Chain A
Amino acid sequence: MSDALTVGAPGRSGGHGPGSDPFALLGLPRGMSMAPHVLDEAYRGLQARVHPDRYADKTDAERRVAMQWATAANEAYRTLRKPLLRAKYLIESAGVGLGEQDNTAMPAEFLMQQMEWREHVAEARAHRDDKALRHIEHAIRSAEVELWPLLESRIAEADWPHAADVWRRLRFLEKLHDDIEDVRSALLD
């Protein structure tokens, strides 16, 4: 049976049920700037109104509706909680694709740096060297600190193609962070 399936286009997730705009659903202004506690409170406030547990003694039909809203609330929160996902949503909903797999648009210099970091991570893993890992993390963080204001201003200016370029670079760095964490867990277990 396994030959019956091939994976199609990468994950198109199910649309938001009640309205598809996470900002609107959570009652928040559209944009990058958002204090975490404001988002958290908006999310909890929304769930407090729509969660099916609030309607546990109601009919199936009503609970189905509540469940659609609660599902949409979770999806909206997930989309907005991490700044990189929030930026992704803003860029994509402006009609610009991020082509995560495609790195041809990256400057060669940036790609070289990536490769170098990756090699360092592999070495640190081989030598079980947590200090080296911390060193790389520090370097990545400095790179991120430079890129974030750039991403935010591109988005604020609605310069979507350039925003997408910066976004792709930040996404690269995020993946590196994940790899480092994986190495760290592997060293501990």
Chain B
Amino acid sequence: MALLQIFEPGQSTVPHQHRRAIGIDLGTTHSLVATVRNSIATVLPDEHGRVLLPSVVRYGAEGVKSVGVEAAARQAEDPRNTLASFKRFMGRGLADVTRTHQGDLPYEFADAPGMVQIRTVAGVKSPVEVSAEVLRVLRQRAEASLGGELTGAVITVPAYFDDAQRQATKDAAQLAGLNVLRLLNEPTAAAIAYGLDNAAEGVYAVYDLGGGTFDISILRLTKGVFEVLATGGDSALGGDDFDRRIACWAIEAGQLPPLGPRDLRALQVEAREVKEALSSRDRARFHVRLQSGEPVDLTLDTATLESLGANLVAKTLKPCRQALRDAGVDITDIQGVVLVGGSTRMPMVRAAVAEFFGQAPLTNLDPDQVVALGAARQAHLLAGNRSGDDWLLLDVIPLSLGIETMGGLVEKIVPRNATLPIARAQEFTTFKDGQTAMRVHVLQGERERVEDCRSLAHFELRGIPPLPAGAARIKVTFEVDADGLLAVTAREESTGVSAQVAVKPSYGLADDDIARMLRDAFDHARDDLDARALAEAQVDADRLVDAVRAALAADGESLLSDAERSAIEARIVALVAARAGSDRSAIREATDALSTATDEFAARRMDASIRSALAGRSIESI
């Protein structure tokens, strides 16, 4: 646990112990898990040697029936209860989903505050819970393969995911029992894998067209630093859209009658197979037998596919242009174009990319695996497995953040493509005389009007002193961490009244929901772990006491007042007393109390340590 390493900032206290860490690519169509073993990143197969886990979950009356290959194979049989492409629903409301899909999905949606839910025989499921099923299978696969509990995981998300989608992904991972080391952008993960393997330097573009999402990222790679300059994309554009166009084509060309959900799903499954076949052939047979028994027998050729998909491909180029402009680089500065995602196997996509960038894209990597491999390397690093060739990752926020102002307009506070972490504040004032409360509406997006941006949260700042209009000074601060997740605080400057929001309420699950789901998930899994838990609590307590004592001896004098010091010492005494007993929760409580009491001390030590490192820097560089 993290507590233990507090007291030697910048140094790993457990030098040679390998910590098990994994990278998971949670894809719209496929998911996979990878790890670093003996300094080599490798994907982990299941017991049948299969690496890709179809992101499909099948529910029965009892709960989850199957996840992966079997579920995918039976999609058309029970379409309502066999959920696929649910990544597209993460952090999205019912209105969003019906707008982008116009009724071509076989699911029965239920509206819920925040995120859309899906009605199944096993009950109403949120996309977060469904995603957690996929993550849980991969977690178990990794634990079986690595032989023990995991320190943590890096989960990838499309770079263009907004705050609500990221939060939903993080919630899903926690629900699956994973400790999330980082949410990592998919193209960035690919760049890490590519860059480390090829010792690449220079400006690169990563073009990632998967099953459901499109991302473009422009990065600069320099001696151990991966610096994202700009990113862009479309979080609802991918191979699925080609499939849908082909299915529509089949309905027209075959003059098919109105179809039910099973037939629609069968057409889409066939459409995908035909599309994939056409990446290596000129024509392919489109064959489906409808529920009515009537056969559909058509032939699709590449020319027709190209005309069906042309404007989808064109839709990817606008974000490419925008990203180049935001990055401040010329197309001729691009050293190489890395292709990621299964849909980049389509010749029409490759041709469009080659033409746009004026160079043949790099294809010497597996577009299915590169994201997971990059995530595994980042996870290995973040788990504290230092190898001497550490790298630094600097990523950006994909979409601007702002708040609603007069007339339904959005005032931007954090611009898109700003490097993370970032903190920005903006001052606002009251509109009416004597106004004592202010509603703050947080939004994300590039458009000017509130209705065109994504609403992330509403909160109210109360207790503003009654002053004439325009006299109060309300400072709203946005902080975005390295995961791209936002926290907002508002403060009235003259009185210090403040409000803080974790940006969850209007999208994503409330903490209570997560807690409930976790309880549900673990209730039957609560084994006889008590003895082991007690031993662990004792070990943790001992280590913490040792670490704090050592830290006090080193820096207690210089960094703490007498009162602060004795407060910490009192907690040590309390923990040592609890440790002597066998009440596990008492030990945990006393450990937490000591840990909390030393927070400020740890922060000061950290600050002092950074300052002295930087002082060393100026001497070196002279």
Contact = CB atoms under 8 A, between A and B. Distances in A.
B606 A65 contact: yes
B403 A188 contact: no
A contact residues, range? 35 or more
Interface in B397-441: 403-408, 411, 418-431, 435, 437-441
Q: Is the interface of A mostly helix, strand, loop or mixed?
A: helix
Contacts of A114: none
B12 interface: yes
Nearest to A11: B426
Given A12-B427, A44-B225, A70-B421, A53 B2 contact: no
B424 A5 contact: no
A63 to B, nearest CB: 9
A34 B422 CA distance: 24
Interface string B580-622: 0000000000000001001110110111001001100110010
A5 B383 contact: no
Most chain A CB within a 10 A radius of its CB, from B318, B424, B474: B424
B259 interface: no
Nearest to A47: B392
Given A4-B435, A59-B2, A71-B423, A48 B404 contact: no
A189 interface: yes
Chain B contact-residue range equals: 35 or more
Contact of A69 (B429, B458, B610): B610
Given A57-B12, A74-B421, A185-B325, A49 B613 contact: yes
B617 A45 contact: yes
Nearest to B9: A62
A56 B598 CA distance: 18
A1 B321 CA distance: 37
B606 A6 contact: no
A14 B181 CA distance: 27
A145 interface: no
B610 A50 contact: yes
Contacts of B421: 52, 67, 70-71, 74
A66 interface: yes
Contacts of A44: 222, 225, 227, 392
Given A53-B482, A65-B610, 10 more contacts: A4-B438, A13-B425, A40-B222, A47-B225, A57-B383, A59-B2, A64-B603, A67-B482, A74-B422, A188-B321
6 contacts: A5-B440, A7-B426, A46-B617, A56-B384, A59-B2, A61-B606
Interface of A: 1-9, 11-14, 17-18, 27, 40, 42, 44-62, 64-67, 69-71, 74-75, 77-78, 181, 185, 188-189
